[in-house]
Structure 1
Amino acid sequence: MQRCSWAGTEEIYLQYHDTEWGVPKYDSRVLWEKLVLDGFQAGLSWITILKKRDNFRTAFRGFDPNIIAHWGEAEVSTLLENPGIIRHRGKIEATITNAKAWQRIEEAGGFDRFLWDYVGGAPIQNRFKAQADVPTSSALSEQIAKDLKKAGFKFCGPTIVYAFMEAMGLLNNHLVTCTRHADVAKLARAL
């Protein structure tokens, strides 16, 4: 199997590349979870978060924003003691803030629609031939980051948003030489 070069050789990363990365996700809570995890990843490698993802899911109650939105200092303190996650006060507090922002967007029409409207409801099918050709941000990720911040989100700059868009399938950024490019393109549908 020909893969994108970033997938490396670690089994957990290969599985992520082969089964998750770039597959279009249309569920509001799934999209929110990934955006939160990408915020925790800021300054770290994604594989660090990927290896702790199950711990995060347990610690953050299945990433239910309707639960997390009501958290306060007691929950923050508990999370800061949890060695299974990234213990960063700012990122933990941002998750609570982001849960409240998610609720507002969800109530106004859906977090899924909010995000997918930026790409016309269907994934952008890029055709990059080399990893060096793939940008780390774009005018679109800058706009989405700006709008997310305006809506109250934290830890969602243009680079985080671009990586999120790739992972959640808003962009098909598998290289054309990767066998997953065509597979992921076939999964595209309009929201």
Structure 2
Amino acid sequence: MKIALDPTPFHHSHSLLDFPALAAELGYKYLQMTPHADMIPFFRHPKADDALVVQFRKNCQAAGVEVASVLPVLRWSGPDETARQAAVRYWKRAIQISVDLSCTQMNTEFSGRPELPEESEACFYKSMEELLPVFEREGVHVAIDPHPDDFVEEGLAAWRVIRGLNSPNVGMVYVASHTFHMKDAPLDIMR
């Protein structure tokens, strides 16, 4: 298990390149790259070029901090086809950034729309047809959170969607603060 700093509360006071030193200063060995305007913003194409990724990695090495996970939040399950295709392109760049940071764990959300669950699920699987071979080739594991307001919010239903991918490279994130939305008993979900 890795206990990682989520730098989101520090976005207003520190630059992206300051996060590794901040993590070390706070006693963390690991950092989770949550959505950030200069790296991988919410719902948009990643904004980091190779030079920024290299500098971020150097800053991590200098601070003795590793990136434990990269967390993109993209509309890969959105029922709008243009937005879905864009999200797949954004995912490919996010995967490359993760690999360049020597990080093989990506966390994310299902996205999609709860009022269009069938359409969103179909879009999720369509996106995964293209992305799953990339995850597998790069040795990246993806853990998905059934986030409130996603097309699947319930724990066991989410696990079934993930199981349907039939890949050891995809699993589930259990976010304790989302338990109230998951419907199912926590121990049933964890089992």
TM-score, normalised via structure 1 length: 0.30
Which structure has more helix as a fraction of its residues? Answer: 1
Higher RCO (CA-CA < 8 Å; seq separation 6+): 1
TM-score, normalised via structure 2 length: 0.30
Which structure has more strand as a fraction of its residues? Answer: 2
